[in-house]
A and B are shown apart, each in its own frame.
Chain A
Amino acid sequence: MANGVFEWEKPLVELEKRIAELQSFTQEKAIDFSEEIKTLERKAESLRREIYANITPWQRVQMARHKDRPTTLDYIEMIFDDFMELHGDRTVRDDAAIVGGLASLNGRAVTVVGPQKGRGRDTKENLLRNFGLPHPEGYRKALRLMRQAAKFKRPIISLIDVVGAFPGVEAEERGQGVVIAECIRYMSFLEVPIICIITGEGGSGGALAIGVGDRLLMLENAWYSVISPEMCAQILWKDTGRAAEAAEVLHLTAADLRALGIIDEVLSEPLGGAHRNPQQVSATMKEAIIRHLDELATIPADQLVRQRLARFRKIGDLRSPITSFSN
Chain B
Amino acid sequence: MVSKLRDIFRSKPKYVTVKPIAQGKQEQKAKAQVPDNTWIKCPECNVTLYRKDLERNLNVCEKCDHHYQVDARTRIMQLIEPQYPFEEYDADVTQVDPLNFPSYAEKRERDAAKTGLTEGVVTGKGVIGRYPVVLGVLDFGFMGGSMGSVVGEKITRAFARATEAKLPVVLVSSSGGARMQESIISLMQMQKTAAAVETHSRAGLLYISVLANPTMAGVYGSFASQGDVNIAEPGATVGFAGKGVIEAAIGKSVPANLQKAETVYANGFIDLIVPRRQLKETIEKLLAFHSDGINVVEPVSADEAPTQEHPLVLAEAAVAAESSAPLQGVSADEEPAELPAASEDEADVKDDKAVKPVKKGRGSRKAKAEPVSDKSEAEPVAPRRGLKRRRAT
Chain B residue at smallest Cβ distance from A201: B10
B249 touches A168 (CB 8 A): yes
For A226, the closest partner residue in chain B by CB is: B187
A226 touches B12 (CB 8 A): no
- Chain B residues contacting A16 (CB-CB under 8 Å) are none
Is the C-beta of B198 less than 8 angstroms from some C-beta in chain A? yes
What 0/1 pattern do residues 224 to 260 of A give for CB contact below 8 A with B? Answer: 1111111110111000100000000111100001001
B188 in complex: contacting residue of A235, A312, A325, CB < 8 Å: A312
Query: Which one of B187, B226, B254 has the greatest number of beta carbons of chain A within 10 Å?
Result: B187
Contact indicator per residue, chain A 180-204, by CB within 8 Å of chain B (1) or not (0): 1110111011000000000000001
- Choice from B2, B182, B185, B190 contacting A205 with Cβ under 8 Å: B190
A251 and B12 within 8 A (CB): no
Q: How far is the CA of A165 from the CA of B259 in the complex (A)?
A: 16
A167-B246, A168-B246, A251-B99 are contacts. A180–B221 as well, Cβ < 8 Å?
A: yes
Q: Which residues of A contact B5 (CB under 8 A)?
A: 131
In the bound complex, residues from chain A placing their C-beta under 8 Å from that of B178 are 204-205, 226
Q: Which B245-262 residues have a C-beta within 8 angstroms of A?
A: 245-246, 249-250, 254-255, 258-259
A55 CA to B99 CA, complexed, in Å: 21
| Cross-chain contact of A208 among B156, B190, B224 (Cβ < 8 A) | B190
Whole-angstrom distance between the alpha carbons of A210 and B82 in the complex? Answer: 44
Asked whether B220 is an interface residue with its Cβ less than 8 Å from the other chain, the reply is yes
State the CA gap A251–B259 with chains docked (Å): 32
Is the CB–CB distance between A226 and B195 below 8 Å? Answer: no
Give the CA-CA distance A208 to B369 in the complex, in Å: 29
**How distant is B9 from chain A, measured CB to nearest CB, in Å?**
6
Q: Which of A71-79, A171-179, A273-281, A295-303 contacts B (4 or more CB under 8 A)?
A: A171-179
Are B192 and A313 in contact (CB-based, < 8 A)?
A: yes
The answer for the CA separation of A167 and B250 in the assembled complex, in Å, is 8
**A327 interfacial contact with B, CB 8 Å:** yes
A324 to B101, Cβ gap below 8 A?
Answer: no
Verify B11–A316 contact, CB threshold 8 A: no
Q: Which residues of B contact A104 (CB under 8 A)?
A: none
Contacts of B14 in A (CB 8 A): 164, 167, 204, 227-228, 231
Q: Are A227 and B13 in contact (CB under 8 A)?
A: yes
B-side contacts of A172, CB under 8 Å: 239-241, 246, 258-259
Task: Using CB atoms, name the residue of chain A closest to B333.
Answer: A235
Question: CB within 8 Å of A: which of B143-186?
Answer: 148-150, 152-153, 156, 178-180, 182-186
B15 near A163 with CB under 8 A, answer: no
State which of B53-61, B71-79, B90-98 sits at the interface with chain A. Answer: B90-98
Contacts of B187 in A (CB 8 A): 204-205, 208, 225-226
A318-B93 contact given A231-B15, A252-B183, A312-B192, CB 8 Å threshold? yes
A166, A185, A236: which has the most chain B beta carbons within 10 Å? A185
Pair A185/B156 contact, Cβ less than 8 Å: no
A226 touches B10 (CB 8 A): no
Q: How far is the CB of A318 from chain B (nearest CB, A)?
A: 5
Cβ proximity bits B1-27 to A, threshold 8 Å, 1 near / 0 not: 010011001111111101100000000
In contact, B240 and A169 (Cβ under 8 angstroms): no
Q: How far, in whole Å, are A258 and B343 apart by their CA atoms in the complex?
A: 38
CB nearest neighbor in A for B218:
A205
**A232, B226: Cβ atoms under 8 Å?**
no
A131: chain B residues within 8 A (beta carbon): 2, 5-6
In the bound complex, residues from chain B placing their C-beta under 8 Å from that of A123 are 2
A167 touches B198 (CB 8 A): no
B residues in contact with A171, CB < 8 Å: 240-241
With A175-B267, A315-B188 already in contact, the answer to whether A251 and B183 are too (CB < 8 A) is: yes
A262, CB-defined interface residue at 8 Å = yes
Chain A residue, CB-CB nearest to B19:
A235
Contacting pair B218 A226 (CB below 8 A): yes
Contact between chains at B223 and A262 (CB < 8 Å): no
Within 8 A of A (CB), among B309-327: none
B100 located at the interface, meaning its Cβ lies under 8 Å from any Cβ of chain A in the complex? yes
Q: Does B217 contact A (CB under 8 A)?
A: yes
The answer on a CB contact under 8 Å between A234 and B183 is no
B197 contacts the other chain (CB 8 A): yes
Contact residues in A for B217 (Cβ distance below 8 Å): 177, 205
Q: Across the interface, do A325 and B192 meet the contact criterion of CB distance under 8 Å?
A: no
Indicate if the CB atoms of B192 and A181 lie closer than 8 Å.
Answer: no
Residue of B198, B216, B268 near A185 (CB, 8 A) is: B198
Q: Does B293 contact A (CB under 8 A)?
A: no
Asked whether any CB of chain A lies closer than 8 Å to the CB of B225, the reply is yes
**Does B269 belong to the interface (CB within 8 Å)?**
yes
From B10, B223, B369, contact of A181 by CB (8 A): B223
Asked if B225 contacts A178 (CB within 8 A), the reply is yes
The smallest beta-carbon distance between A238 and chain B, in angstroms, is: 9
A20 contacts the other chain (CB 8 A)? no
Q: In the bound complex, what is the Cα–Cα distance between A131 and B369 (angstroms)?
A: 46
CA–CA, A163 to B149, complex, Å?
Answer: 23
Given the known interface contacts A208-B187, A224-B184, A257-B184, the answer about A231 and B10 at a Cβ–Cβ threshold of 8 Å is yes
Take A181-B225, A205-B190, A227-B14 as given contacts and tell me if A319 and B183 are in contact as well, using a CB distance cutoff of 8 Å.
no
Question: Closest CB-CB distance, B386 to chain A, in whole Å?
Answer: 32
Interface residues in A27-77 by Cβ distance below 8 A to B read: none
Chain A to chain B contacts (Cβ below 8 Å), 6 pairs: A178-B225, A181-B190, A181-B220, A226-B15, A226-B187, A250-B184
With A169-B258, A212-B191, A316-B153 given, can you name 5 additional A-B contacts, CB distance below 8 Å? A172-B259, A181-B225, A226-B218, A234-B11, A315-B192
